[in-house]
Amino acid sequence: MGKALQLAVTLLAAAFLLVPTIQSVLAGVTVNYFQGISSGLTLDWIGVVWELYASSIFLSLGIALACLCVTLVIGVPAAYALARNPGRLSRAVEEFISLPLAIPGLALALALLQLYGSYKGFRMSWTFILVGHVLYTLPFMVRSVQSVLAAIDLKTLEEGAATLGAGPARRFFDVVVPNALPGILAGALTVVTLSIGEFNLTWMLHTPFLKTLPVGLADSYASMRLEIASAYTLIFFVMIVPLLLAMQWASARAQQITK
């Protein structure tokens, strides 16, 4: 009896999460949503989305990759510096770079607009959105790398490399980076996933000529047929689900090291 109840609750919870998704996906491949499935299945809507929003998809991918590069270049050394110099100052810096997590994206975007809004060239460029994404995703990279670095005896490993003749740069690339790799990978997947899916902040920063994937999604919901919007959701799922799976796998690996 207890088991049956458990199963029922589990199935209900799964249904609660899955039914809207399935319905939305189905709507994206239905000829006419208001007539229902009986009107037939089609991939035409996906084609329409591609025609209308391919640029959004590529823009999002581009921004996500650029965001990844920037967070790697800033985040990995930052995590290293924090891990090597534990102390009150490091805690403070850590809290400070984590602030964007607690502040609503809208507020962050407003601050960026106030600061840079008058620089027209920058304001109209995709790099403006990139700056917002970097601010928002950087703490995830830093924390992910830092937790792996904190779990290994970094100081002694580096001292070992130093006695063997390795200068600071060699130590960083030969010892620090390879041993932080699981954390870097987990952080990288998180950054890409978050950047592709980010809406709050991007919606404030975007221009009519620069719509990212989620902004395009909102646009299609507001102004297109429901079938097109749903087909768009479908494309979004196809892109984001593999990333989510990879992210989970990578974090599990990173956690094995932290143990």
Partner 1 sequence: MTLTLRNIAKTYPGGTRALLPTDLDIAEGEIVSLLGPSGCGKTTLLRIIAGLETADAGAEIRFKDDDMTHQPVERRKVGMVFQSYALFPNMSVRGNIGYGLKMQGLPRAQIDARVDEVIALCRLEPYAGRAIGALSGGQRQRVALARAFAPRPRLLLLDEPLSALDAALRGQLRDELAALLRQFGITAIFVTHDQDEAMAIADRVAVMSQGRVAQIGTPEALYRAPQNAFVARFVGNSMPLGGRIEGDQLHLPGGTLALAAPSDGMAAFVRAEDVRLAQDGPLTARVTAVTFLGTHYRIALSGATDQTLFCLHQGQSAPKPGETVRLAIAPQSILTLTPEKAAA
Over the window 225 to 244, marking each residue x when it contacts partner 1 by CB under 8 A and - when it does not, the resulting string is: --------------------
**CB 160 → partner 1: shortest distance, Å?**
3
What residues contact 130, with CB distance under 8 A and at least 6 apart?
A: 63, 66, 67, 70
CA distance 33 to 23: 10
- Is 97 a binding residue for partner 1 by CB under 8 A? The answer is no
Q: Which residues contact 2 (CB under 8 A, 6 or more apart)?
A: none
Between CA 239 and CA 57 the distance in angstroms is 10
Closest CA to 191 of 242, 133, 240: 133
Long-range contacts of 168-175 (CB under 8 A, 24+ apart): 172/77, 172/80
Q: What minimum distance in Å lies between the beta carbon of 156 and partner 1?
A: 4
Q: How many residues bind partner 1 (CB under 8 A)?
A: 19
The smaller minimum CB distance to partner 1, of residues 114 and 156, is found at 156
Smallest distance, partner 1 to C-beta of residue 179, A: 5
Beta-carbon contacts of residue 170 (< 8 Å; ≥ 6 apart): 161
Residue 144 or 212 with smaller CB distance to partner 1: 144
Nearest alpha carbon to residue 123 among 56, 55, 206, 65: 206
Q: 175 or 188: whose CB is closer to partner 1?
A: 175
Specify the residue, 166 or 244, whose C-beta has the smaller distance to partner 1.
166
Residues 124-153, one symbol each (x = binds partner 1 by CB under 8 A, - = not), give ----------------------------xx
CA triple 107-80-82, angle to 5 deg: 60
Restricting to residues 149-188, name those near partner 1 by CB under 8 A: 152-153, 156-157, 159-167, 170, 174-175, 178-179, 181
Residues 6+ apart with CB under 8 A from 84: 154, 155
Whether residue 199 contacts residue 103, with contact meaning beta carbons closer than 8 Å, is answered with no
- Least gap, CB of 154 to partner 1 (angstroms): 10
Q: Smaller CB distance to partner 1: residue 35 or 85?
A: 85
- Quote the least distance from Cβ 175 to partner 1, whole Å: 6
- Closer by beta carbon to partner 1, 167 or else 208: 167
Residue ranges in contact with partner 1 by CB under 8 A = 152-153, 156-157, 159-167, 170, 174-175, 178-179, 181
